[in-house]
Structure 1
Amino acid sequence: MENREPLKPYLLAYPGPLRDQLVAAVLSGQKVSTTGLLAEYEAEKEELPPVGERSALIDSDGREVAVIELTEVRVLRLGEVDLRHALDEGEGYASVAEWRAGHEAFWHGDEMREALGDPGFEVDDETLVVAERFRVTERF
């Protein structure tokens, strides 16, 4: 960690048990993909990250625990997410339907709706998502 340029933080979920679970899955190699809402990027006025971007994976305590490098970034309709992507999220989903139910629960939660500024936010098959694939390049 010494003498390196600061990296943009890579945040999975919100601090707490879910983030801890996701970070552990990344560190174990089970999680090599993630999905976010394009609306999140728009609400935060952020550009999509480019392939090759390196970021610091952050745990619930705000510590950098690893460096990840993006290997793929795709924007697609929620209805187009396939089984490979769902399995590669490393959260134990056995089907796209299970994956989607878990993600809809998160995206329809109070924290996400507040972040988007839309208390009634809901997703459907046409909702645009950002599917990212990554690899761990360094652990701290």
Structure 2
Amino acid sequence: MTSDAFSSGDIAALPRAEFAFPGPLRDQLVAAVLDGAKTSTTGLVADYEHENEPLPSVGSRSAVVDSDDRRVAVIEVTEVRVVPLAQVDFAHVVDEGEGDTSIAGWRANHEGFWHGEEMRAALGDPEFTVDDETLVVLERFRLVARLDPAG
């Protein structure tokens, strides 16, 4: 982690990095970011398209938010790849910091999330499903700074 200093205005201007939905899973993922175990994440191209958001770009920074909507860290994107789900590699799986020990286990966990009611609602598609050809965004990042959520 670098010693970059941020003013409250700088932090407020950063886009938000939201891992999962508020609740236990987000809390687990944010803790993994803060302790350095999580240095990659996977998103659905369909989600970016639905939200009309550009894909992440190398060098961009964002503020990680916790389940209480507090900005708790700043991360910087170091790599972005778009691949079919079937091409996710084991190094990416491990770097997600979620404890998965196989690509199959990782995929089952992610498909459970993507096929969940919250994700289907967020995509506006109650029948949404993924398969080997579903395009995913593999993002690597580095922790730039931990923030005091109390302000």
Q: TM-score per shorter chain, which class?
A: over 0.9
Q: Distance in 1 between matches of 2:8 and 2:44?
A: 34
RMSD value, Cα:
0.9
Look up the SS of the partner of 1:87 in the other structure: helix
SS of aligned partner of 1:61: coil
Alpha-carbon distance between aligned partners in 1 of 2:48 and 2:137, rounded to the nearest angstrom: 9
Question: Which letter does structure 2 place at the counterpart of 1:101?
Answer: A
What letter corresponds to residue 56 of structure 1 in structure 2? A
**SS class of match (1:23):** helix
1:30 corresponds to = 37
| SS class of match (1:138) | strand
Aligned counterparts of 1:132 and 1:48: Cα–Cα separation in 2: 10
Question: Normalising by structure 2, what TM-score?
Answer: 0.90
Partner in structure 2 of residue 75 of structure 1? 82
Match of 1:9 in 2: 16
Partner SS, residue 26 of structure 1: helix
- TM-score (norm: length of structure 1): 0.97
Confirm or deny that 1:125 pairs with 2:132. yes
Identity of aligned residues (%): 64
Runs of 4+ in structure 1 over 3 Å off: none
Deviation at 1:49, TM superposition (A): 1.6
TM-fit CA distance, 1:115:
1.0
Q: Tell whether 2:143 aligns with 1:136.
A: yes
Q: Displacement, 1:50?
A: 1.0
